[in-house]
Chains A and B, each alone.
Chain A
């Protein structure tokens, strides 16, 4: 944990500018390129994950405080459940009824 009184919020500025950049790059890839749907989704999905991680670590400081381990494990578990719910629902509802 940072106990020093910093004069300038450099971490926040870097986080903000990177977020803006990631947003515009994702929009550019999705709206201005003619890549395949699959490639675009892979690219912009990856960019979304990077940006979410940026928010979690640079703005929310998920890995600070004396309970940092519990916090990180809890959020990681939430994300795992989220992936299972989303991917599982789509998989079952799209392909499940063929069998």
Chain B
């Protein structure tokens, strides 16, 4: 692993192993795009099959959705700032921004769970219609990714506290950063093609 060390590069790119890990993660993200594409495809086919149940306009709470969107957008920004601080070799700044990112992520998740509970309370469950089945599967898969991301980032923060900034912890931090930004990219499309589209139709 110590072979091919290039200290002129940022810490997370310095070893051959790290460069391969980062490239590998980009390939994983390519597969994630396809995973979400299948769910968007299902949703795009079924989004008007209300089966006599509630429609978009009946249930969607646009104000809450806007707040969720801003929380996630801001968390993507603070995650970017965390990596920025990492490149300046500022461990304290890195951990601080990571924790802020996590808090925003938890806020998003809390609001999303509340939103789902509200829908279920209104009688809009996964079993109600094809629209709602595809809706909950798409949104739920994204929410699950956010949940996994929060758990993962907590583990990374613990490692950073224990080991400080090394080529290995820097690479791990960089990769969770990519993952977190990717979740925001997916959300942009959910916001546009599920929520906004639903309110227009």
Contact = CB atoms under 8 A, between A and B. Distances in A.
Contacts of A67: 19, 22-23, 26
B1 interface: no
Contacts of A71: 23, 26
Contacts of B197: 30, 41, 44
Interface of B: 8-10, 13, 19, 22-23, 26-27, 29-34, 36-38, 40-42, 44-45, 62, 66, 69-70, 73-74, 76-77, 79-81, 84, 87-88, 177-178, 181-182, 184-185, 188-189, 191-193, 196-197, 199-201
Interface of A: 1, 3, 5-6, 9, 12, 15-16, 19-20, 23, 26-27, 30-31, 37, 40-41, 44-45, 47-48, 51-52, 55-56, 58-60, 62, 65-67, 70-71, 74-75, 77-79, 81-83, 85-86, 88-90, 93-94
B196 A30 contact: yes
A44 B178 contact: no
Contact of A60 (B62, B182, B191): B182
13 contacts: A3-B9, A3-B10, A6-B88, A19-B73, A40-B200, A44-B196, A55-B76, A55-B185, A60-B181, A75-B30, A86-B44, A90-B44, A93-B45
Contacts of A93: 45
A4 B127 CA distance: 55
A66 to B, nearest CB: 6
B196 A26 contact: yes
A74 B26 contact: yes
Chain A interface, DSSP helix/strand/loop, else mixed? helix
B27 A74 contact: yes
A37 B45 CA distance: 17
B27 A89 contact: no
A78 B34 contact: yes
B26 to A, nearest CB: 5
A9 to B, nearest CB: 4
Given A79-B33, A89-B45, A93-B45, 19 more contacts: A6-B88, A15-B77, A16-B76, A19-B73, A26-B196, A31-B62, A44-B197, A48-B189, A55-B76, A65-B13, A65-B23, A66-B13, A66-B19, A67-B23, A74-B30, A78-B29, A82-B40, A85-B37, A86-B41
